[in-house]
Amino acid sequence: MHSALDYVAPNVFTKIKPFNREIMRVPTIYLETTIFNFPFADDAPHHQADTLRLFAEIKAGKFRPFTSEYVTRELEAATDPRREDRLRLIKEYDVEVIPTSDEAKSLAAAYIEAGIIPPAYGTDGFHIAAATVKGLDFIVSLNFRHIVKRKTIEEAELINFREGYKKIGIYSPAEVIDYDENI
């Protein structure tokens, strides 16, 4: 009696090379404003831990981080004592800042017109649009009211497809960090 393995060329399994991260493309991620707040949020330890882990993985080269002028404006407008600490994260982690563009403004307006993002929270639409127009892989946010929610994810994907943009993932830090590896 023969098994299926008897018909496989000899040494086929010894020729498989181990996974090499260096040949993989590093995912590009958009860090929405909340991601800069939670490293200092002692009142939300689980979100704080996940966000700190995300920054550790960025430092280790697992992600290429981006944010936008919309985020820097929101952070600069803060008046609390942690304002400078949040802004410092952008430089410390080499986060590339995406400039404002008419294309992103137009796409954000489409989200608002479609009722995905409420007009009073239009900046949340700008976050999604800036990352989409830049062609990033995904957005990381802890804004569960307007960004990391099923309706927003599904309807933004439809508008992005209609407008000719690629799909962009929208996740919380817990969904993108690697709990199993030591950084």
pLDDT digits (tens, 9 = 90+) for 42-86: 999 999 999 999 999 999 999 999 999 999 999 999 999 999 999
Q: Is the CA virtual torsion 54, 55, 61, 63 positive or negative?
A: positive
3-state class (DSSP) for residue 98: strand
* H or E segment and range at residue 169: strand 169-171
- For 166, other C-beta atoms within 10 Å of its C-beta total 11
Q: What is the mean pLDDT of the chain?
A: 88
- Domains of the chain: total: 1
Residue 36 lies in a domain: yes
Residue 15 lies in a domain: no
Residue 37 lies in a domain: yes
Residue 9 lies in a domain: no
pLDDT, position 24: 76
Q: Which two tokens stand for residue 116?
A: 């995905």
State how far the Cα of 111 lies from the Cα of 125, in Å rounded to an integer: 6
Q: Which two tokens stand for residue 27?
A: 């995912």
Q: Please give the DSSP secondary-structure letter assigned to residue 18.
A: P
Asked whether the predicted pLDDT for residue 5 surpasses 90, the reply is no
CATH code at position 61: 3.40.50.1010
pLDDT digits (tens, 9 = 90+) for 72-122: 999 999 999 999 999 999 999 999 999 999 999 999 999 999 999 999 999
pLDDT, position 9: 43
Question: Please, which residues have CB within 8 angstroms of residue 60's CB and are 6 or more apart in sequence?
Answer: 183
3-state class (DSSP) for residue 76: helix
Q: Which two tokens stand for residue 173?
A: 């830090």
Asked whether the predicted pLDDT for residue 29 surpasses 60, the reply is yes
State how far the Cα of 107 lies from the Cα of 123, in Å rounded to an integer: 12
pLDDT, position 6: 42
Residue 20 lies in a domain: no
* H or E segment and range at residue 75: helix 69-77
Confidence label for 134 from pLDDT (cuts 50, 70 and 90): very high
Domain with 164 in it: 28-176
> Which residue type is seen at 114?
A
Residue 43 lies in a domain: yes
Residue 10 lies in a domain: no
Residue 153 lies in a domain: yes
In degrees, rounded to 5, the angle at the alpha carbon of residue 158 between the alpha carbons of residues 128 and 153 is: 50
Asked whether the predicted pLDDT for residue 3 surpasses 80, the reply is no
Mean pLDDT over residues 149-171, rounded? 96
